[in-house]
Chains A and B, each alone.
Chain A
Amino acid sequence: MLTTCPERLAFSYLRPGSVDEALAMWAGQARPAFLAGGTDVLPRARREGGIGALIDLKRIPELDRIEQGGDGGLAIGAACTVHRVAVHPLVRERYPVLSACLSQLGSFPIRNRATLAGNICNASPCADGAPALLALEAVLELRAAGGAQRTLSIGDFFRGPGETALRPGELLCRILLPAGSAGARGSYQRLARRRAVDISSVAVLVARLAAGERRHRICLSSVAPTPLRAVEAERVLDAEEPDSVERAAELAMAACAPIDDLRGSAAYRRRMVGALLGRAVDELRSSRQTGVPV
């Protein structure tokens, strides 16, 4: 049955001042959820209900920082908005590929509210925050009540649509960008019906590290249950042979598992993985950075 009125959400709102307090609140509430930017959780709560308490992370000072890590990398707190990350001088200078991808996430008002941590915790197959973090081999710092803490590679984080490796009550606190990935350049190609603020039907990031043996990173989204890397295709690009791009495209197309939906057929999507990979390599070679199609 369809009705005109939005359901009331009827949740309580809590605002902890520290991570420990946030974790304790979680433990004490029925059907709790962490609230970062709210751009996904609020519409979902309105659609589906099922949330008893929202625990707002935005006033926790330790989550609201972007700072240099001990190893020379960068640590991004879970409450940092996408826009803040995208325009941060250190991100722009050292991780321009992240900046380029994030500037294509949602709209300006959404980027002012949504957080990078929230974007990946939603674990949408089409998350625009995921490809760059996969390419940079980001490490996630997770904490749980009682002082438990662990780190997880971004590659081990996504488990399925809407599913992550987070345990109940566990909080993603910081996203760590390794020093070794600094200087990576990339081209992020996304296909959608509209040129902005549209969920992609296919997105391909080709990134190239500043140095090292295994320099290429190929990350795909919207073409599998989770965002993923096409590692075999990366190795082919590393080889830099005349037919590398074609072969990498073939391997990337083989690595994905798209579905038919409103945004495109599986066959088209798979083929577009190859096409966008080629377009990304072309753009990367022509040294443009923006990743804006056509």
Chain B
Amino acid sequence: MSGQGYDWVGQDVERVDAVDKVTGAARYTADLKFPRLLHAAVVRSSLPHARLLHVDLGPALSVPGVKAAVCGRDVPFHVGIYLKDQTVFACDRVRYVGDPVAAVAAESPEAAAEAASRIAIDYEPLEPVFDVERGLEPDAPRVHPELGRYECVPWITPEPGTNVCNHLKVRKGDFDAALKRCAHVIENRFAVPQVQHVPLEPHVSVARVDLAGRVEIHTSAQSPFTVRHLLCACFGFKHADVRVIVPHVGGGFGGKAGINLEPIATALALRCDGRPVRVAVDRSEEFYAVVVRQGLQASLTSGVDENGRVIAQKMRYVWDCGAYGGYGVNVVRAAGYTCGGAYAFDHVQGDSIGVYTNRPIGSAYRGFGMQEIHWALESQMDAVAREIGMDPVEFRLRNCLGPGKATVTGQVLDESAGDVATCIRKVACGIGLDVDRTDPSGGGPIRRGRGMACAVKAPAMPNDAASSVILKFCEDATLELSLSGVDIGQGLRTVAAQYAAQALKLPIESVRVHNLPDTHLSPYDWQTVASRQTWATGNAVLRAAEDCKRQLLETAASALGRPADALELDAGCVRDPDSGRSVPLDRLVMGYLFEDGHAVGGPVAACAHFVPEGLLFLDPETSQSKKPVAKWTFGAQGVEISVDTRTGEIRVDRVVACYDVGKVVHPSLIRGQTFGGIVQGLGTGLMEELVLDRTSGRIANATLADYKIPSSLDAPRMEAGFLETPQADGPLGARGVGEHTMIPTPAAIANALVDACGVRVHSMPLTAEKVLAALDAREAGREGGHRGS
């Protein structure tokens, strides 16, 4: 049987970059050497909110070794992906501690630091806004008085004259009327603090502007083409004059999406006579000065009928977007149209509101708002189930989405959307929520509990977001695959190679994936975000492979004197099944040379793209839409925890995850992604929080000594299972799952805490001190109900 042994999709093939990464051969941006490199230092605002009266660069320029200094008045250009509310440097106002005010480039880091320290800045302090409650008050200081003048995509709706940078409304059915019919009405509030991505590699960008005016950027980024596009929009460059190259990237998690340090590096490089300039943040700046995840205040009201069906659901999500909302406004939007999570609510009133504050910049973070709203929603669903005396698993099954059911935007799901009910059942069974249990710890101080939570997410992206690839054969029939999706660790290049090798029946090692996305050389890709790459790039690879195959068959048709449609591509050759004759690939890939000397065909190569089809904008008043997003991915996690009731410490012992991914493309990569997401979720659930010093406006724990992410000892035992309900427009059925893996973990832990000792904590993270306070409150009788089994 032809092609047997080439079913690479579904196999544990070796990562294409594994050897590079275990030998140290893989070069990341900071590893690259540049002749005559200049080092930058960024001067950042020391005040959270102030009028910027004057910046004096003069003293910096007199420091020996300084090549250039630049500040807002030199490059007064706006930059931003959805809402252009930020300039390269603060111009007339600073909006958070860390806001870039000026930068210098010098021969050494010491000279740059010395020069930066001499730049004199005059401020007029303004009242800062540190939380969304204050930000929404009518008399609150305006963080962006110019809000009405900013350029903005049409599907984002800022409210000029306020601190609201976006507000999405979801109105479905008649919430108020439905609520009156409900047997139970349960209200709760939940909170999520700002947290940080903590990629192991901090942000770094190197820019060079040569004497002909061409710009070259090497940068640790998730989206080379978006960096190029936004840089061109900012500085007025021609796209073809800007080259963005992305070496290996040491983790992104959304923090390297959009555009970050590149405009600062470019502003300096424009003044450095063709010399390269490196802007690198240290670990402390990584925490507060680049981007963080938004905070959330959520208020939920659930109206439930006597059968345990939620018929009326109100959700108000208020986001702390920080000082700038260029990217974060789309998190607000995504949270709005996904406000009901994995559930089918008939009557919905949803509001997702982004609020400016004088805190670090909220932006994309793995899950794009979904972990935060699921913290609220999945805690609420559990609380409601317990309140009405129903098993939380059964309650979820009664209310969850599925084929034929409608989302909050009125989209009726089909079979291809995946099967959350089976995910719920498998997780409940895997973690032991399906059996009657008595706490094995009895009355001792260590209590055990189990809980679960669901997850859903769709890609939040422009409707025309594209991925494309180029395939071209070498003379020896090795296939070169070029793409601009970035392998930030998730294994994109490996997955792309699997699709290409399978489609063209090649040995996996015969597919080489170009390492460096490079806007001069590799084809367009919008961004590596939104769990979209396997799905979008995978589709583009299959289409390009189909084109290559057609070319090979056409050349072989001439060579064999047979019609192309009578031939088939086999392992390493094109074969005529009737005669058994075949031509090896290495005689076809550059064209075929006949014995008499004449040639047919030519080098085989193809470019193909993928853009999702049939997407429709949301209704501006109600957000109703039959197809607002390209795909949904559903899943669930169950956790088992131990709680020390003497101290409040939670230990997560075991996590079971199940996601409907359409197709498991690479079992060990998807397992690794899932485990990584769970542990990242556990970190935000138990220990991560950016703490603001409200006196100075600074982040008080901006070091790895003070802001802890999970270590190897914090990671629980984990099991991951997957369903394969094919995605209709997925490559061999696959859909994305990268972000979804961290969405449900904190809520599942909170629900397990209720199971273990009957207390619910409403704000992340679940620190020991908070848990103990909740236990105290229960003892004091201030919080009744919600007692666990």
Residues of A within 8 A of B (CB): 1-8, 191-199, 262, 264-265, 268, 271-272, 275-276, 278-279, 293-294
Residue of A1, A2, A197, A262 touching B700 (CB-CB under 8 A): A262
- A1 touching B713 by the CB < 8 A rule? no
* Assembled-state Cα–Cα distance A7/B116 (Å): 11
A2-B285, A5-B109, A6-B113 in contact; A195/B646 too (CB < 8 A)? no
Query: When each residue 273-306 of chain B gets 1 if its CB lies under 8 Å from chain A and 0 otherwise, what string results?
Result: 0000001111001000100000000000000000
Report whether over half of chain A's contact residues are helix, strand or loop; otherwise say mixed: loop
- A194 touching B687 by the CB < 8 A rule? yes
- B710 touching A4 by the CB < 8 A rule? no
B265, chain A: closest CB distance, angstroms = 11
Given the complex, which residues of A lie within 8 Å of B112, measured CB to CB?
Answer: 3-5
Assess whether B763 is interfacial by the CB under 8 Å rule: no
Number of residues from B at the complex interface, CB < 8 A: 47
- A293 touching B43 by the CB < 8 A rule? no
* Assembled-state Cα–Cα distance A193/B280 (Å): 29
Assess whether B42 is interfacial by the CB under 8 Å rule: yes
Given the complex, which residues of A lie within 8 Å of B687, measured CB to CB?
Answer: 193-194
Query: When each residue 686-724 of chain B gets 1 if its CB lies under 8 Å from chain A and 0 otherwise, what string results?
Result: 110001000000001100011010111110000000000
B58, chain A: closest CB distance, angstroms = 16
- B769 touching A3 by the CB < 8 A rule? no
Given the complex, which residues of B lie within 8 Å of A271, measured CB to CB?
Answer: 772
Please name the residue on chain A nearest to B702 by beta carbon: A2
- B642 touching A294 by the CB < 8 A rule? yes
* Assembled-state Cα–Cα distance A276/B269 (Å): 57
A1-B46, A278-B646 in contact; A194/B711 too (CB < 8 A)? yes
Query: When each residue 736-773 of chain B gets 1 if its CB lies under 8 Å from chain A and 0 otherwise, what string results?
Result: 00000000000000000000000000000001110010
Given the complex, which residues of A lie within 8 Å of B705, measured CB to CB?
Answer: 199
* Assembled-state Cα–Cα distance A1/B115 (Å): 12
Please name the residue on chain B nearest to A193 by beta carbon: B687
- A5 touching B113 by the CB < 8 A rule? yes
- A262 touching B691 by the CB < 8 A rule? yes
- A1 touching B98 by the CB < 8 A rule? no
Assess whether B651 is interfacial by the CB under 8 Å rule: yes
- A276 touching B109 by the CB < 8 A rule? no
Given the complex, which residues of A lie within 8 Å of B772, measured CB to CB?
Answer: 268, 271
A43, chain B: closest CB distance, angstroms = 9
Given the complex, which residues of B lie within 8 Å of A7, measured CB to CB?
Answer: 110, 113
**15 A–B contact pairs at CB < 8 A?**
A1-B117, A3-B42, A4-B279, A4-B281, A5-B112, A5-B113, A5-B282, A6-B113, A193-B708, A194-B687, A196-B711, A268-B769, A271-B772, A294-B644, A294-B651
A4-B281, A7-B113 in contact; A279/B44 too (CB < 8 A)? no
Given the complex, which residues of A lie within 8 Å of B708, measured CB to CB?
Answer: 192-194, 198
Given the complex, which residues of B lie within 8 Å of A279, measured CB to CB?
Answer: 644, 646-647
Please name the residue on chain B nearest to A267 by beta carbon: B769
* Assembled-state Cα–Cα distance A103/B349 (Å): 55
- A272 touching B647 by the CB < 8 A rule? yes
Assess whether B41 is interfacial by the CB under 8 Å rule: yes
- B710 touching A194 by the CB < 8 A rule? yes
Residue of B44, B701, B714, B768 touching A3 (CB-CB under 8 A): B44
Given the complex, which residues of A lie within 8 Å of B644, measured CB to CB?
Answer: 279, 293-294
B50, chain A: closest CB distance, angstroms = 13
Extra contacts, 12 of them, besides A5-B282, A191-B768, A276-B647 (Cβ < 8 A), are: A1-B119, A2-B43, A2-B97, A2-B285, A3-B44, A3-B116, A4-B40, A4-B41, A4-B281, A194-B710, A198-B708, A262-B706
Closest A-B pairs by Cβ, 4 of them: A5-B113, A275-B646, A5-B109, A193-B687
Given the complex, which residues of B lie within 8 Å of A197, measured CB to CB?
Answer: 711
Given the complex, which residues of A lie within 8 Å of B767, measured CB to CB?
Answer: 193
Please name the residue on chain A nearest to B279 by beta carbon: A4
Assess whether B649 is interfacial by the CB under 8 Å rule: yes
Given the complex, which residues of B lie within 8 Å of A199, measured CB to CB?
Answer: 705
- B44 touching A2 by the CB < 8 A rule? yes
Query: When each residue 405-440 of chain B gets 1 if its CB lies under 8 Å from chain A and 0 otherwise, what string results?
Result: 000000000000000000000000000000000000
Please name the residue on chain B nearest to A1 by beta carbon: B46
Query: When each residue 10-39 of chain B gets 1 if its CB lies under 8 Å from chain A and 0 otherwise, what string results?
Result: 000000000000000000000000000001
- A4 touching B280 by the CB < 8 A rule? yes
Assess whether B446 is interfacial by the CB under 8 Å rule: yes
- A5 touching B110 by the CB < 8 A rule? yes
- A5 touching B710 by the CB < 8 A rule? no
- B647 touching A2 by the CB < 8 A rule? no
A21, chain B: closest CB distance, angstroms = 31
- A6 touching B43 by the CB < 8 A rule? no
Given the complex, which residues of A lie within 8 Å of B649, measured CB to CB?
Answer: 191, 293-294
* Assembled-state Cα–Cα distance A43/B109 (Å): 17
Please name the residue on chain A nearest to B285 by beta carbon: A4
* Assembled-state Cα–Cα distance A195/B713 (Å): 6
* Assembled-state Cα–Cα distance A275/B649 (Å): 12
Which of A6, A192, A195, A198 has its CB near the most chain B CB atoms (within 10 A)? A195
* Assembled-state Cα–Cα distance A141/B112 (Å): 45
Which of A1, A3, A195, A275 has its CB near the most chain B CB atoms (within 10 A)? A3
Please name the residue on chain B nearest to A293 by beta carbon: B649
- B701 touching A262 by the CB < 8 A rule? yes
B54, chain A: closest CB distance, angstroms = 15
Please name the residue on chain B nearest to A46 by beta carbon: B282
- A294 touching B446 by the CB < 8 A rule? yes
* Assembled-state Cα–Cα distance A294/B642 (Å): 8
A284, chain B: closest CB distance, angstroms = 16
Given the complex, which residues of A lie within 8 Å of B119, measured CB to CB?
Answer: 1
Query: When each residue 624-656 of chain B gets 1 if its CB lies under 8 Å from chain A and 0 otherwise, what string results?
Result: 000000000000000000101011010100000
A264, chain B: closest CB distance, angstroms = 6
Given the complex, which residues of B lie within 8 Å of A198, measured CB to CB?
Answer: 708
Please name the residue on chain B nearest to A279 by beta carbon: B646
Given the complex, which residues of B lie within 8 Å of A262, measured CB to CB?
Answer: 691, 700-701, 706
Given the complex, which residues of A lie within 8 Å of B285, measured CB to CB?
Answer: 2, 4
Please name the residue on chain A nearest to B769 by beta carbon: A268
A198-B708, A293-B644, A294-B644 in contact; A8/B651 too (CB < 8 A)? no
* Assembled-state Cα–Cα distance A105/B181 (Å): 60
B443, chain A: closest CB distance, angstroms = 15
Query: When each residue 116-141 of chain B gets 1 if its CB lies under 8 Å from chain A and 0 otherwise, what string results?
Result: 11010100000000000000000000
Given the complex, which residues of A lie within 8 Å of B44, measured CB to CB?
Answer: 1-3
- B769 touching A264 by the CB < 8 A rule? yes
Given the complex, which residues of A lie within 8 Å of B711, measured CB to CB?
Answer: 194-197
Given the complex, which residues of B lie within 8 Å of A265, measured CB to CB?
Answer: 769
Given the complex, which residues of A lie within 8 Å of B706, measured CB to CB?
Answer: 262
A194-B708, A262-B691, A294-B446 in contact; A3/B41 too (CB < 8 A)? yes
Query: When each residue 466-503 of chain B gets 1 if its CB lies under 8 Å from chain A and 0 otherwise, what string results?
Result: 00000000000000000000000000000000000000
Please name the residue on chain B nearest to A292 by beta carbon: B713
Given the complex, which residues of B lie within 8 Å of A196, measured CB to CB?
Answer: 711-714
B154, chain A: closest CB distance, angstroms = 37
- A5 touching B647 by the CB < 8 A rule? no
Given the complex, which residues of B lie within 8 Å of A195, measured CB to CB?
Answer: 651, 711, 713-714
Given the complex, which residues of B lie within 8 Å of A4, measured CB to CB?
Answer: 40-42, 112-113, 116, 279-282, 285
B707, chain A: closest CB distance, angstroms = 9
Given the complex, which residues of B lie within 8 Å of A293, measured CB to CB?
Answer: 644, 647, 649
Residue of A5, A191, A276 touching B41 (CB-CB under 8 A): A5
Please name the residue on chain B nearest to A265 by beta carbon: B769
B193, chain A: closest CB distance, angstroms = 13
* Assembled-state Cα–Cα distance A293/B701 (Å): 25
B446, chain A: closest CB distance, angstroms = 7
A54, chain B: closest CB distance, angstroms = 18
Given the complex, which residues of B lie within 8 Å of A6, measured CB to CB?
Answer: 109, 113, 282
B654, chain A: closest CB distance, angstroms = 14
* Assembled-state Cα–Cα distance A271/B647 (Å): 9
A280, chain B: closest CB distance, angstroms = 11
Given the complex, which residues of A lie within 8 Å of B713, measured CB to CB?
Answer: 194-196
* Assembled-state Cα–Cα distance A268/B43 (Å): 39
* Assembled-state Cα–Cα distance A37/B427 (Å): 48
Which of A8, A199, A265, A278 has its CB near the most chain B CB atoms (within 10 A)? A8
